[in-house]
Amino acid sequence: MIKIQSAFRCIQCQKLFDCYRHAATEIQQFVRGQIARMRLFGASFLPKSDPTGCISYWKGYLAQKASRGQLLDLCLRLHKSAANVDDSMRIINRLLVALSDLLSIKSVSGILHTCATLDMATKLSTKCCEKLVEAEAVDMLLKLIRSVNRSIPDQEVLKHALSTLRNLA
State pLDDT tens for residues 87-140: 666 777 777 777 777 777 778 888 888 888 888 888 887 887 888 888 787 888
The whole-number pLDDT of residue 129 equals 81
Residue extents of the structural domains in the chain = 1-45, 47-84, 88-168
CA distances from 93 to 54, 87, 106, 121, 128 (A): 50, 8, 22, 10, 10
Average confidence score pLDDT of the chain: 81
Is residue 121 within 8 A of residue 98, CB to CB? The reply is: yes
How far apart CA 29 and CA 130 sit, in angstroms, is 51
The whole-number pLDDT of residue 87 equals 65
Mark residue 42 as left, alpha or beta (left: phi above 0; alpha: psi -120 to 50; beta: remaining): left
Residue 18 backbone dihedrals phi, psi, to 5 degrees = -60, -40
State pLDDT tens for residues 25-79: 888 888 888 888 877 776 555 555 566 667 777 788 888 888 888 888 888 888 8
The whole-number pLDDT of residue 124 equals 82
Is residue 128 within 8 A of residue 91, CB to CB? The reply is: yes
The whole-number pLDDT of residue 125 equals 79
- How buried is 14 (Cβ within 10 angstroms: 0-12 exposed, 13-18 middle, 19+ buried)? exposed
The whole-number pLDDT of residue 51 equals 64
Between residues 160 and 92, the one the model is more confident about: 160
